[in-house]
């Protein structure tokens, strides 16, 4: 790797940390409530109805109909499910992102209420998303605007990682807060659930979706809505506080 490539890589990491760490600077994570429990929540497919919104956009972008969002996807790629090439799918997804559509993706009922309840319980809400903010300038502002419009309370946002050896968002989360503080993760994708477990996160909830029912995903508690999720998290937080003298 040349000196200029090393400099660019270091600069990319600085940007990643400045945007990802909770208070703007990496060292700030040690200053405020560094011992508080953390609930990590995904956005697309977990707090927001990305699947239906994207298929709606694709219908207009391609000018033809696609499978209904509630039709069960038997564990295949979305592009295959839609009957298009993966290149066409990526072009459509890029257009979706660049067009700012993530600003008005529908939020699931109770998303704002869930985050208020978590923070009222003296826990932190960490938003964990695989959105690649370093590749498109509008990803960060569109995401934060969606959070603002939907009154989502949060303490930090973790994006798709850039670590060459372990670039996942849950590797980043564990690196920043450690596994002991993580009360639960909430996800919709089986591969992300597997990654959370890989990094030592024990309690994972899966938002029930037509695209994650086949094949069945082990080691995750399937929930139907965000109010049901809170009923479980309330118990998890109570147990965490008991174990930590809180």
What is the set of domains in the chain, with CATH numbers?
Answer: 30-49+107-243 (3.40.50.1000), 51-103 (no CATH)
Query: How far apart are alpha carbons 111 and 124 in whole angstroms?
Result: 15
Residue of 184, 175, 186, 191 lying closest to 43 (CA atoms):
186
Other C-beta atoms closer than 10 Å to the C-beta of 236 total: 18
Q: 207 φ, ψ to 5°?
A: -70, 120
The predicted structure's pLDDT at residue 13: 55
**24 has a pLDDT exceeding 50:** no
Query: How far apart are alpha carbons 48 and 3 in whole angstroms?
Result: 42
Residue of 171, 175, 178 lying closest to 192 (CA atoms):
171
Could you check whether the bond before residue 215 is cis, i.e. omega within 30 degrees of 0?
Answer: yes
Residues comprising the chain, all counted = 246
The predicted structure's pLDDT at residue 146: 94
- pLDDT tens digits for 165-215? 667 999 999 999 999 999 999 999 999 999 999 999 999 999 999 999 887
What is the pTM (predicted TM-score) of this model? 0.84
Residue of 62, 47, 8, 75 lying closest to 207 (CA atoms):
47
- pLDDT tens digits for 26-61? 433 433 467 899 999 999 999 999 999 999 999 999
Average pLDDT over residues 117-139: 82
Average pLDDT over residues 56-72: 96
């Amino acid at each position: 790797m040349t000196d200029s490539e090393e400099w660019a890589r270091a600069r990319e990491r600085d940007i990643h940390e400045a945007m990802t760490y909770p208070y703007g600077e990496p060292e700030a994570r040690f200053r405020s409530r560094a011992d508080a429990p953390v609930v990590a929540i995904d956005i697309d497919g977990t707090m927001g109805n990305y699947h239906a919104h994207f298929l709606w956009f694709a219908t207009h972008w391609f000018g033809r109909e696609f499978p209904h969002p509630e039709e069960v996807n038997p564990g295949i790629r979305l592009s295959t499910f839609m009957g298009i090439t993966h290149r066409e799918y990526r072009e459509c997804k890029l257009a979706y992102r660049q067009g700012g559509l993530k600003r008005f993706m529908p939020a699931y009922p109770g998303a704002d209420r869930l985050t208020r309840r978590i923070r009222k319980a003296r826990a932190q809400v960490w938003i964990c998303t695989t959105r690649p903010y370093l590749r498109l300038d509008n990803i960060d502002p569109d995401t934060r605007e969606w959070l603002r419009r939907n009154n989502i309370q949060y303490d930090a946002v973790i994006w798709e990682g850039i670590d060459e050896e372990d670039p996942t968002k849950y590797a980043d989360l564990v690196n920043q807060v450690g596994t002991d503080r993580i009360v639960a993760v909430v996800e919709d994708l089986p591969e992300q659930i597997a990654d959370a477990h890989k990094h030592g996160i024990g309690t994972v909830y899966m938002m029930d979706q037509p695209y994650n029912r086949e094949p069945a995903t082990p080691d995750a508690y399937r929930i139907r809505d965000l109010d049901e999720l809170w009923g479980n998290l309330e118990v998890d937080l109570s147990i965490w506080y008991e174990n930590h003298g809180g």
